Amino acid sequence: MKCQRVKEEIKAYVDGELGRVTRWRLARHLAACAGCRMEEKTMTDLAGQVQGASKAAAPPGLRGKVLGKIEFKPGARRRKWILIAVPAAGLGALVVAAILFPVFAGSHERARIAPLLAARRSRQAAERALPSMPFPTRAQGPKEQLAKAKVNTPWAPSARRPAPQAGDRGYGAVAPPSVPTTPLIIKTADISIKVKSFQKAYDDAVWICRSVGGFVSDSTAESEESIPTSGSLTLRVPVDSFESAIGRLSRLGTVKSKNIKGQDVTGEVVDLESRLRNKRAEERQYLEIMNRAKRVPDILTVTEELSRVRGEIEEAQGRLKYLRASAAMATINVSLSEKERPKPVPASKSSITRTFKNAVASLGRTANGLAAICIWLGVYSPFWALPIAAWLYLRKRQPAAQ
Amino acid sequence: MTASYEERKLVSEIRAGRREAFERLLDLYQDKVFALVHRMVGSQDAEDVAQDALIHVCNSVAGFRGRSSLSTWVYRVAMNVCLEHRRKRRPEVVPFEDDLVGRQAHPEGDPVTVAVKNEVKRDVDSAIQLLPEIHRDVVILHELQGLTYRECAAVIGCPLGTVKSRLSGAFAKLRELLSDYASEGGIAT
């Protein structure tokens, strides 16, 4: 051991705070080095002087003052882990509640609507069963038939009689014959398809349309360098072939978007038919008046009214015809475009530029990710900020020594 | 070093709320705490700060877990109270008090020897007060309060090696400040 090292360790040696090996090495050095022995003696004397420094004794009244300010009550041993465990338990309870609340809420909701669902299911079952029942005959009247249905089904069937059918004469209630049995719906579809070759896809679309009995009502095409690359077609196809035509068109390429709409015009058709019947009745009345009219002014007036009524009849007939034709032939708007060919990378761009752009793009993604994390943390702040605040508050209330 | 059986027994009695146990605790530590506080904050605030420290000790001793000796724990509480007091009244000036030596005067012996001893004590006190805070704290704890290096480390909250190096540095400074006595080979106290 060298003297410099001895100088560093001599204080601990004098205090008896050295390890056994170091102490032995230092003692061996001291036995051989007179200078270090002098150092040891100086340090021992100095320590003695410092230890002999004056020590103040507590004033006599201190004990009484302290005893007067403390409470002699049993105190529970405060455990530090409670400071962590309590907020952690609170946080855990919050998380569990947050997870379980929708489940319980859902079960309550299900329990609430369960009777309604059961009633609905039984009604549907009864509705399925009713059409198979034989219609009332003269031997078995409608009242008896309804009573039988009432026994078989839990719900009151009085408001849900089976729809009258053709040939039903003994039932009483007969719907107006003009009401269409199937709804009239004008179907329209918009499809956008990416294709490899526009020309081939265009030809195929036209062939599909014609094969199902339809026709092309409109078409456009756009060219690039005298080669058509995109365009659109408006196809009219029979409504029965609407679905199959769309399915076949979808296989021409990659469908980018598909939008199918249906406009129910049943109500409008029924309304137009009723108005048409009224107008025809009105026309017949005017014709009878015309036959009886003797004076010229009367004849002129009736003629004027007749022409008005006939105009309205033609208008209604035209609208009816249009609606029926629209409902009979669905419209499909097909938009075809060729897939973009990959553009060659300009040779002038160096790898440094690409690397720089990649780095900038990566930085943007990282910033977005960090922003997302901050937003999540902010939104979930009640779950972590409150426990931390509680923990800090409790920690502050702890004694300084804890 | 963990708490001894007697210390644990004392703490359990304090937890039970027995006044005698509190009194015993104060008897054991009030002088030590006051001496420490007196050195660290000066005589002017010593009594108030010592009172705060002892009240703190009594109120929180129920939470003593016995991982160290009770004296180490008490010193640590007192040390924290002193540091808190220091922080509140910066810049700190701990004046050296002549009256301290007077109060500790030795009634016996030759008046000349007593006078010389008092002078030595006064100089040693001055030298201790001149040390930087980090050095002074370890000197107070180790030399004046008699704590081991390990206990000093526990009270201050630093590694054992730091205590060793701080003490070594403190004594190097004290040696310069008290060079006269050191060169004379020391004076018996």
Predicted confidence (pLDDT) per residue in B111-152, tens digit: 677 777 777 777 888 888 888 888 888 888 888 888 889 888
The predicted pLDDT at position A110 comes to 59
CA–CA distance, B141 with B169 (Å, rounded to integer): 15
The pLDDT assigned to A347 comes to: 56
Q: What pLDDT score does A127 carry?
A: 52
Mean pLDDT of chain A: 77
Residue range A159-168: mean pLDDT, rounded: 41
SS3 state of residue A190:
strand
* Contact in structure between B129 and A53 (CB atoms under 8 Å): no
User: B182 and A45 in contact (C-beta within 8 Å)?
Assistant: yes
Residue closest to B129 by CA, chosen among B118, B142, B139, B114: B139
The band of A338, judged by pLDDT with boundaries at 50, 70 and 90, is confident
* Owner of token pair 């526990």: B154
Specify whether the CB–CB gap between A67 and A60 falls below 8 A: no
- Answer whether residue A43 shows pLDDT above 50: yes
Count of C-beta atoms within a 10 Å radius of residue A238? 13
First-residue to last-residue Cα distance in chain B: 31
Tell whether the model's pLDDT for residue A175 goes beyond 50. Answer: no
Q: Which of A42, A51, A400 sits opposite B80 (nearest CB)?
A: A400
In this prediction the ipTM stands at: 0.74
CA A6 to chain centre: 76
A5-9, A109-113, B115-119, range with the lowest pLDDT: A109-113
- pLDDT score for A394: 85
Interface test with B, best of A10, A39, A55 (most B CBs within 10 A): A55
Nearest CA in chain A to B106: A54
Task: Note whether B175 contacts A51, CB cutoff 8 Å.
Answer: no
Helix, strand, coil content of chain B in percent (nearest 5)? 75, 0, 25
Secondary structure of B39-86 as H, E, C letters: HHHCHHHHHHHHHHHHHHHHHHHHHCCCCCCHHHHHHHHHHHHHHHHH
Residue A76 confidence (pLDDT) above 70:
no
Give A109's pLDDT tier (boundaries 50, 70, 90). Answer: low
A chain contacts of residue B125, beta-carbon cutoff 8 Å: 53-54
* pLDDT tens figures, A235-262: 999 988 888 888 988 888 889 899 998 8
Question: How do residues A299-317 score in pLDDT, each as one tens digit?
Answer: 898 899 889 999 999 999 9
Q: Edge to edge, what strands does the sheet with A215-224 contain?
A: A215-224, A227-238, A329-338, A185-195, A254-264
Alpha-carbon span A233 to A231, nearest angstrom: 7
A256-275 b/e with 16+ CB inside 10 Å = b?
eeeeeeeeebeeebeebbeb
pLDDT at A369: 93
Q: Do A399 and B143 touch (CB under 8 A)?
A: no
Please tell me the predicted confidence (pLDDT) of residue A311: 92
The pTM of this model reads 0.43
Say whether pLDDT at B39 is over 70.
yes
Q: DSSP secondary-structure letter at B155?
A: H
* Contact residues on chain A for B34, CB-CB shorter than 8 A: 56-59, 62
Question: Which residue in chain B is spatially nearest to A56 when comparing CA positions?
Answer: B35
Q: Does pLDDT of B97 surpass 80? A: no
- Nearest Cα of chain A lies from the Cα of B144 at a distance, in angstroms, of 5
Angstrom distance (rounded) from CA B7 to CA B11: 6
DSSP string computed for A59-71:
PTTHHHHHHHHS-
pLDDT at residue B183 in the model = 53
What is the per-residue pLDDT across A15-36, written as a single tens digit (0 to 9) for each?
Answer: 888 888 888 888 888 888 888 8
